Amino acid sequence: MSDPNARPVLTTTAGAPVADNQNSISAGPRGPLLLQDYQLIEKLAHQNRERIPERVVHAKGSGAYGTLTVTHDITRYTRAKVFTPGSQTEVLLRFSTVAGERGAADAERDVRGFALKFYTSEGNWDLVGNNTPVFFVRDPLKFPDFIRTQKRHPATNMRSPTAMWDFWSLSPESLHQVTILFSDRGLPQGYRFMNGYGSHTYSLWNDAGERYWVKFHFKSMQGIRTWTNKEANEVIAEDRESAQRDLYEAIERGDYPRWRVCVQIMPEAGAEKTPYNPFDITKVWPHGDYPLIDVGVLELNRNAAHYFAEIEQASFSPSNIVPGIGFSPDKLLQGRLFAYADAHRYRVGTHYEALPVNRPRCPVHHHHADGAMRFDAPRGTDHYYEPNSFGGPVEAPSVKEPPLRIDGDADRYNHREGNDDYTQPGNLFRLMTPEQQQHLFNNIAAAMQGVPRFIIDRQIEHFRRADPAYAAGVAAAIGRIHTAPASAPTTAADVGQQAAD
């Protein structure tokens, strides 16, 4: 009878037992190593390949499993089974920062990712959102340019405030998100203490073929807690994994974080009646016009057993939807439908969706063939194409989405024409208390240190158009803060100028 407590035998990847894992094979005690020592070669070769490419954005992340419990009935809007009243669905939620690399500190001022994977009975539904309801750009053509401004300068290899503010000041649609980023909510104390948003406009459709536009909200039931810049710097000095540690330890001790899940609903025809474009991700839907409707509760209650396998390899894509949930004409969403799945094919591999963390909990049947690292063996050899006469999966016409009427001439339309990029940021500013406004002024002024004056002036003009008090407050804070000695150069031009001086 075997001892259940006996330790397993160490093996090679091929399963052969290892006799000695302490010493390489050499020609004598002092001699060179032998190429036949495959155990050594395998070990070194595997180490060279332990890292996969990090995410281009949202590289630093944390995550956990949990459940969505539906407590309210929204089946009049959608046929998606995930919203069946009383149902529970397993969920994976990955939090992240946007700009930093995998080793970045958690307590940096940045947008936080809020990416959800619902393992539903009809397939995986991914809702890939943030902790803000809006974003910096509305056209995916500008997304790569924006991200470059958040990454490192190609010459100095340092983050460049000049690049950030230059781009933002030339992109007035960014003002709403910039205002949120530099408000108190731009520095949450941890992932448990922030809201989540689907951000984009999506669609729901019901059994009657009626379509509704929808926005998803996740309201933290732990409350909102934020750091000041000074507090965050102190946290970073002590613990670069502060948010990861807080989330992991809370779940381990049974203090499960929860979010109230809500939606805003707009009838399909209502999109033609709003004074703003409801598919513009730089805008919000006023709650007075489209109040929050309760759906249920999201709870995280289980940590991953292996970070790399379950969190680093977790792959989310807005293109993963289920019957009853659809897309919208949101331009940035349309770009993400391609970009995210394509990024996973590059970063993780052709069959990334077959990995346990990404694998649907329902049966999967398709005709995608072969590819690197395919490890399943599809049954049947005669129905490897479609249509065919030999069996295999068939279509499901009952889940066909209702038609969406679209029209217009194909052209490159100026997305800023007819778009009001100032009213909503101004409204947000006026909702803040005087103390919150002062924090906003100081945070912006601190982030503008070292930025050329003409860029600062251009950005202040955007603040003025949102609210004159907004511009005046930032200008006054700049006058106080920028009297300090100049910071280190952040662009190649800055480096050259200081060298000339």
Catalytic center residues:
58, 130
* Contacts for 372 with CB less than 8 Å, ≥ 6 apart: 349, 350, 351
Over its C-alpha atoms, the chain yields an Rg (Å, rounded) of: 26
Work out the burial of residue 7: count CB atoms within 10 Å of its CB; fewer than 13 is exposed, 13-18 middle, 19 or more buried: exposed
| List of long-range contacts for 480-486, beta carbons under 8 Å, 24+ apart | 480/445, 481/442, 481/445, 481/446, 481/449, 482/445, 482/448, 482/449, 484/449, 486/449, 486/450
Q: How far is it, in rounded angstroms, from Cα 344 to Cα 162?
A: 31
Query: Dihedral of CA 448/454/459/464: which sign?
Result: positive
Q: How far is it, in rounded angstroms, from Cα 239 to Cα 490?
A: 26
Q: How far is it, in rounded angstroms, from Cα 475 to Cα 300?
A: 43
Q: How far is it, in rounded angstroms, from Cα 144 to Cα 325?
A: 28
340 annotated to bind ligand: yes
Beta-strand relationship, 61-70 and 293-303? antiparallel
Q: Which residues are annotated as a binding site?
A: 340
Residues of the binding site for heme = 340
